[in-house]
Amino acid sequence: MLSVSMDVPDAKNVNQWIGVDRGQNHLSVASLPDGRAKFWTFGNIRQIRRKYQKQRKSLQKQKKLKTLKRLESKERRTITHVNHIISKELVQLAVDCNCGIRLEDLSNIRKTSKQRKKTKSDAAQNRDFWCYYQLENFIFYKAKLAGIPVEKVPAPYTSKSCCKCGAIGSRNKHHFACKRCDSKYHADWGASQNIGKWLGLNCSLVLEKDTSVMDVSVQESGAHGTPLN
């Protein structure tokens, strides 16, 4: 057995953060503090998922289990390769810009987020096929090797609140509109901005219309991770 050891640098002290929104249409959107963004889409992933889903059904009917396992292994390698590309480029972006990385906490999303039966039957749309956790692990270990700090922040309202004024807005697929400040922009970009600018406050469970979400004062729960005064 070969044992390999290496020195891992301490995480840098940073004043700015890159917010990263993960999804199924755009696998990742990284937003810089100055508003610039990088999108990782890999549009062919959906076609790959559907292609392998169709082949799996055919192989299962024919009971060709060995061929089925090889197919599933090939699919996993493809997705793993894509996640390696995204994580590598994201960490390099953080190094070049001297920023930390902030991710939304997607723990238990498969349990808490409902899906329609039609959506679950399509491998390209089914959230259960979304390898967000693998991508998260790749980002964490590559960032650690580069000395880049990584934080996870609560996911609620990151895609529903305006990154300009903090009010709850309306989202229609990739389009976001805010009635308070009349801002209109790409919804995933806005979510990544909110993640990067997260202030460490919990959102109230009951929100009034046009109430600022990201800057709302803590009433009952206190600041995230800190006791009430």
Unique residue bearing structure tokens 């996640």: 83
**Confidence at 156, pLDDT banded by 50, 70, 90:** confident
CATH class of 17-155: alpha beta
Closest CA to 159 of 25, 47, 36, 49: 25
**Confidence at 17, pLDDT banded by 50, 70, 90:** very high
- Alpha carbon separation from 124 to 54, 75, 134, 148, 215 (Å, rounded): 11, 13, 17, 32, 36
**Confidence at 20, pLDDT banded by 50, 70, 90:** very high
Task: Tell me the per-residue pLDDT of 21-43, one tens digit each, with 9 for 90 and over.
Answer: 998 888 899 999 999 999 998 87
Q: Are 38 and 91 in contact (CB under 8 A)?
A: no
Task: Tell me the per-residue pLDDT of 46-95, one tens digit each, with 9 for 90 and over.
Answer: 777 777 777 877 888 888 888 888 888 888 888 899 999 999 999 999 99
How many C-beta neighbours within 10 Å does residue 26 have? 19
d(C-alpha 49, C-alpha 134), whole Å: 17
What is the pTM (predicted TM-score) of this model?
Answer: 0.75
d(C-alpha 2, C-alpha 73), whole Å: 26
d(C-alpha 93, C-alpha 23), whole Å: 19
Residue ranges of domains in the chain: 17-155, 156-229
Across the beta sheet with 184-186, what order do the strands follow?
170-172, 175-177, 184-186
Angle between helices 65-97 and 44-62 (to 10 degrees): 160
Contacts of 216 (CB under 8 A, 6+ apart): 166, 201, 203, 204, 207
Q: Picking from 9-13, 42-46, 135-139, which range would have the lowest pLDDT averaged per residue?
A: 42-46
| Whether residue 217 has pLDDT greater than 50 | no
d(C-alpha 177, C-alpha 199), whole Å: 22
| Whether residue 144 has pLDDT greater than 80 | yes
Q: What percent of the chain has pLDDT over 90?
A: 42
d(C-alpha 87, C-alpha 136), whole Å: 8
